[in-house]
Structure formats: C-alpha cells, structure tokens
C-alpha cells in the first residue's frame, strides 16, 4: 500500500467519520497538499523518519503548520497500525523534533470592543437572541416561542467586563467580592 492510498483511507474512514468537519478538512488539506506530493508514491512501510523530517523542515517558515503535519502523519500511522497495514510500533513521525511555536498576543480593535460592549448591554437589558440550528436535531429541549432571548448570569457579564479593565486577577477578585 502506498502513502497516498493510506491518506485516502485515513481521510475517509477516520477524519471524515470521527472528526468535526473543519478538522477533517484541515487533515485532508495537510495530507493532500504536503504529504502526498512529498512521499505519496512510497510504500507505507518504506517511509523513514528522515523522510518525515525533510517534509517537516520544508515547512520551517510556518512552524505551526509543520508541527500539525507531524501530528496528522502520526495519527495516520496509528490508524494504519489499527488496521494492521503497518506494524504496531512503526510510526516515522515519532521522534521528529518539533519547531518552537511563538505565542501571538492580539488586542481587540476599537470596533470589536464597541461590538462587545453593545452585546453586553443587550444581554443586560433584553437578552441575547438565539435560534435552534436546524442541522442539529438534538435541541429538542429548547422552548418553541418565536422570540428567543437569553440573559447571561450577571456575574458572567461582570467577569467579561472585568477582563477588559486590565486589573490583575487578585485585584479584580477583591472588587467583585467587596461588600
């Protein structure tokens, strides 16, 4: 069996069947755009750690994507072991050193802060509108009234507001619990 054939089985029998659609789509993209062109014609038991490390190194400009590719290839080989198409302990992605990933710090824009404030005010007054997703039939317990609105627990709204004050946790805790 080739790597390309295992990729298609993994996507069809594992990713699409057991993962969220967005996760399955991400797995398929990583495998079809990176792994198959790189090693797709090789036999699955002929892939070495060096082959996977080379694919990983080629993605060094995007360390997060490179590390996800390693994880997906590892999951694919575990799937292959479960189907008895590769030996149980054979996983060429194991032992490849991952790249360091830098954390990103993001701040809300003025427009986003305004929208958040408006949503919190709406929650405190009329409640936030909601609807049942017709694609998820498990919402049988939801009320059937036409005008649906729900209010958050008041302390939850206060906690969200507190997050945007810049207070330290200990100071915020004292403010919330001051009598």
Per-residue tens of pLDDT for the chain, all 179 residues: 999 999 999 999 999 999 999 999 999 999 999 999 999 999 999 999 999 999 999 999 999 999 999 999 999 999 999 999 999 889 999 999 999 987 777 777 888 888 888 888 888 888 777 666 667 666 555 555 555 667 777 788 888 877 777 665 555 455 545 54
Q: At what angle do helices 63-82 and 21-30 cross, to 10 degrees?
A: 100
| pTM of the entire predicted model | 0.62
Phi, psi of 137 (to 5 degrees): -70, -5
Phi, psi of 18 (to 5 degrees): -120, -10
């Amino acid at each position: 069996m080739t790597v390309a054939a295992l990729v298609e089985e993994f996507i069809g029998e594992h990713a699409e069947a057991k993962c969220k659609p967005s996760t399955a789509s991400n797995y398929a993209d990583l495998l079809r755009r990176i792994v198959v062109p790189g090693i797709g014609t090789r036999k699955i038991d002929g892939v070495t750690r060096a082959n996977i490390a080379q694919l990983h190194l080629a993605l060094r400009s995007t360390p997060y994507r490179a590390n996800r590719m390693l994880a997906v290839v590892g999951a694919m080989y575990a799937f292959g072991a479960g189907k008895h198409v590769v030996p149980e302990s054979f996983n060429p992605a194991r032992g490849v050193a991952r790249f360091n990933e830098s954390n990103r710090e993001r701040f809300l824009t003025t427009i986003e802060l305004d929208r958040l404030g408006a949503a919190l005010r709406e929650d405190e007054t009329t409640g936030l509108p909601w609807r049942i997703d017709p694609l998820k039939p498990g919402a049988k317990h939801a009320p059937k009234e036409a005008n649906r609105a729900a209010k958050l627990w008041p302390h939850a709204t206060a906690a969200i507001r507190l997050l945007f004050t810049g207070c330290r946790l200990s100071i915020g805790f004292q403010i919330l619990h001051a009598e």
